[in-house]
């Protein structure tokens, strides 16, 4: 299995990734949703371009370094960074990027907005800023529609900034509450005389219900491009829809019920996402990955039936973090290895 690739390796099946991109783009097209994929999952300019070619209106990034890679190497020209950007170093880099392509960011505080304003006060065009809203996920975001309107007014009043709309990372499965929250926030902002041109929602867990939040004008998703064991466990994809897998070699079979592979937490990561075990061995649903040390993974089954040197292919719990572990991935189509690709946007501090 992929003898030309040494292990452990992260394999990306482009046939599967492209089918995933096209399937969800078709869903968005059918429902009149604008799609803005989050590239944190793949960090590959070529896949960002493929998402745009399929019909995405732009991309989402979480870090300035991701946006830099996608703009410089991917030629992407519409980027939303869904993060509070703070501090002189990142603000200077943001200003440089904003001079090159249409760029939007989010914020959930006056303090962060004031930092953005100071950096863009003399920019040729104002920076587009969305207000991040906490619609129930309890991460970042203003916590009430009225607070969203207050911050929108503050942004609109700050030099160098343009209030551009609302953004949320919603809790999955609570579409009705999210819709209600966003509709109330939109009304509150409009009552201040400010137009709300963009309302950005997202998340792979709720992707097939995106249309149930009609207040949203665009949808952001990352994991859908690869899928993973967490998405499969939610019933949102099959193993055949998983584009990312880890190719590993059995390095030891110490007991009839146990084998050790050369992929540990430095490849598969310790992310559980509520699951038991650290991944799914394709073709061997009886095997559990019960423990990871840094460079070893422990496989257990009633009868392990593996030999030293044999290779296994594993769908990890969480594709987005596995992408981030190695400097390169192996692009394949079915059983055919295509090329090695550098993971352009990984390993950067910010």
Residues that bind a second copy in the complex, under the rule CB under 8 A: 6-9, 40, 62-63, 83-84, 86-87, 89-90, 108-109, 111-112, 115, 134, 138-143, 249, 251-255, 258, 260, 262, 265-266, 269-272, 291, 293-296, 298, 307-309, 320-321, 324-328, 346-350
Q: Minimal distance in Å, beta carbon 258 to a second copy? A: 7
For a second copy, the closer of residues 51 and 317 by Cβ is 317
Helix (H, G, I), strand (E, B) or coil at 332: strand
End-to-end CA distance of the chain: 36
Q: How many helices (H) and strands (E) does the chain have?
A: 9, 17
Q: Minimal distance in Å, beta carbon 84 to a second copy? A: 4
For a second copy, the closer of residues 7 and 200 by Cβ is 7
For a second copy, the closer of residues 85 and 182 by Cβ is 85
For a second copy, the closer of residues 83 and 163 by Cβ is 83
Q: Minimal distance in Å, beta carbon 332 to a second copy? A: 15
Q: Minimal distance in Å, beta carbon 74 to a second copy? A: 19
The helix-helix angle for 64-72 and 45-54 (nearest 10°) equals 70
The helix-helix angle for 64-72 and 88-98 (nearest 10°) equals 30
For a second copy, the closer of residues 56 and 329 by Cβ is 329
Across the chain, where does the E strand assignment appear? 9-13, 34-35, 59-61, 79-81, 103-107, 127-133, 161-168, 198-202, 218-220, 244-255, 258-261, 279-281, 288-292, 297-300, 311-316, 328-333, 336-342
279-305: buried (b, 16+ CB within 10 Å) or exposed (e) per residue? Answer: bbbeebeebbbeebeeebbbbbbeebe
Q: Minimal distance in Å, beta carbon 124 to a second copy? A: 25
For a second copy, the closer of residues 193 and 274 by Cβ is 274
Q: Minimal distance in Å, beta carbon 265 to a second copy? A: 6
CA distance 59 to 70: 9
Other CB atoms within 10 Å distance of the CB of residue 78: 15
Across 112-205, where does the E strand assignment appear? 127-133, 161-168, 198-202
Q: Minimal distance in Å, beta carbon 248 to a second copy? A: 11
Q: How far is CA 73 from the centre of its chain?
A: 18
Cis peptide before 295 (omega within 30 of 0): no
For a second copy, the closer of residues 18 and 228 by Cβ is 228
């Amino acid at each position: 299995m992929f003898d030309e690739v040494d292990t452990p390796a992260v394999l990306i099946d482009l046939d599967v990734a492209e089918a995933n991109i096209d399937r969800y783009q078709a869903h968005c097209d059918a429902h009149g949703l604008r799609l803005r994929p989050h590239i944190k999952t793949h960090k590959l300019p070529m896949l960002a371009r493929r998402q745009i070619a399929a019909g995405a209106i732009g991309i989402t990034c979480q870090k300035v370094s991701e946006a830099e890679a996608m703009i410089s190497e991917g030629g992407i020209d519409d980027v939303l960074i869904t993060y509070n950007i703070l501090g002189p170093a990142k603000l200077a880099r943001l200003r440089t990027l904003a001079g090159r392509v249409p760029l939007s960011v989010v914020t959930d505080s006056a303090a962060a907005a004031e930092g953005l304003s100071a950096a863009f006060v003399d920019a040729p065009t104002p920076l587009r800023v969305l207000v991040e809203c906490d619609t129930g996920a309890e991460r970042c975001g203003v916590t009430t529609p009225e607070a969203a309107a207050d911050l929108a007014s503050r942004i609109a009043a700050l030099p160098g900034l343009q209030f551009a709309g609302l953004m949320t990372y919603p809790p999955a499965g609570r579409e009705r509450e999210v819709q209600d929250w966003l509709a109330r926030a939109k009304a509150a902002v409009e009552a201040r005389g400010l137009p709300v041109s963009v309302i950005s929602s997202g998340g792979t867990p709720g992707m097939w219900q995106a249309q149930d939040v009609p207040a949203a004008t665009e949808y952001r998703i990352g994991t859908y491009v690869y899928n993973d064991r967490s998405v499969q466990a939610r019933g949102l994809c099959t193993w055949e829809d998983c584009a990312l897998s880890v190719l590993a070699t059995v390095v030891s079979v110490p007991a009839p019920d146990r084998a050790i592979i050369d992929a540990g937490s430095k490849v598969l990561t310790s992310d559980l996402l509520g699951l038991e075990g650290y991944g799914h061995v394709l073709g061997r649903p009886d095997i559990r990955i019960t423990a990871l040390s840094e460079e070893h993974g422990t496989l257990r089954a009633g009868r392990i039936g593996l030999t030293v040197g044999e290779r296994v292919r594993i769908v990890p719990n969480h594709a987005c973090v596995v992408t981030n572990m190695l400097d390169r991935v192996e692009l394949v189509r079915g059983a055919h290895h295509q090329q090695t690709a550098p993971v352009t946007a990984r390993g950067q501090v910010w």
